[in-house]
Amino acid sequence: MSDLFETYESDFQLALSEAKSKLAQISAVEGESRKSYLRAIEGAIEEGQEVLDQMGIEVQNLPTNQRSSYNTKIRQYKSQIDDSKSRLNQLLNSQDKHELFGSRYTDDVEPGSLQDQQRKTLLGNNASLERSSQRLKDSHRVALETESIGGNILNDLRSQRDQISGARNTLMTADTYVDKSIQTLKSMSRRLTANKFISYAIIAVLILLIFLVLASKFW
């Protein structure tokens, strides 16, 4: 189990390192290259999150007394990935604003003006789309986790069913042996009874012969 966790941990570190590296470099990137960097950062973060989810699932399969140290690591990694997500969201918001408003975007917009209202509407719609997209991703991740847990439960149930079937077959075999033993004992009991009657008959015949011999001597 620890070996598998370490493999996931190594994969997570690689994904997180890639995301952090590109986050540090993106300030010097413009245009289409910047978009490529953003997509690469987003992909690395998603990969890291998926690996982190797998680490959490693996820890759940451990005995309760062994989970503490692993859960501590997972919390630390989650904090790191959340920090990278936050920085990515800031960059994506900035990129969206630039694409929506171009060179017209500025913070020196008069509050309440038409331009300010349009900008707020567009940013609100964009934020709503981002939240919906994030909810879909979270739902997909939960579905994958549920599917994995369900698969583990089904495997456990199959194993238990095989054990129960094996125990039932053993009981049936034992029951067959018991029936055979009872039949054997009954047969032995009948033979013993028959042997007793034969022994009694032989004794009776011998006694009768003795009386006949004695009687023949006196007559």
Query: Could you tell me the pTM of the whole model?
Result: 0.47
Q: Please give the structure tokens belonging to residue 63.
A: 């005995």
Q: Identify whether 96 is part of a domain.
A: yes
Q: Identify whether 166 is part of a domain.
A: no
Return the pLDDT at 79. 92
Return the pLDDT at 105. 47
Tell me the per-residue pLDDT of 170-201, one tens digit each, with 9 for 90 and over.
888 888 888 888 888 888 888 888 888 898 88
Return the pLDDT at 120. 64
The alpha carbon dihedral of 19, 21, 26, 29 has a sign of: negative
| Low-confidence residues in the chain, pLDDT < 50 | 103-107, 109
Q: Identify whether 200 is part of a domain.
A: no
Q: Please give the structure tokens belonging to residue 164.
A: 């129960």
Domain count, the chain: 1
- CA-based angle 10:46:3, to the nearest 5? 25
Q: Identify whether 208 is part of a domain.
A: no
Return the pLDDT at 173. 86
Q: Identify whether 58 is part of a domain.
A: yes
Domain containing residue 28: CATH number: 1.20.58.400
What residue numbers bound the domain in which 81 lies?
A: 1-101
Tell me the per-residue pLDDT of 54-79, one tens digit each, with 9 for 90 and over.
888 888 888 888 888 888 888 999 99
Q: Identify whether 130 is part of a domain.
A: no
Q: Identify whether 197 is part of a domain.
A: no
CB neighbour list of residue 61: distance below 8 Å, 6 or more residues apart: 1, 152
Q: Identify whether 157 is part of a domain.
A: no
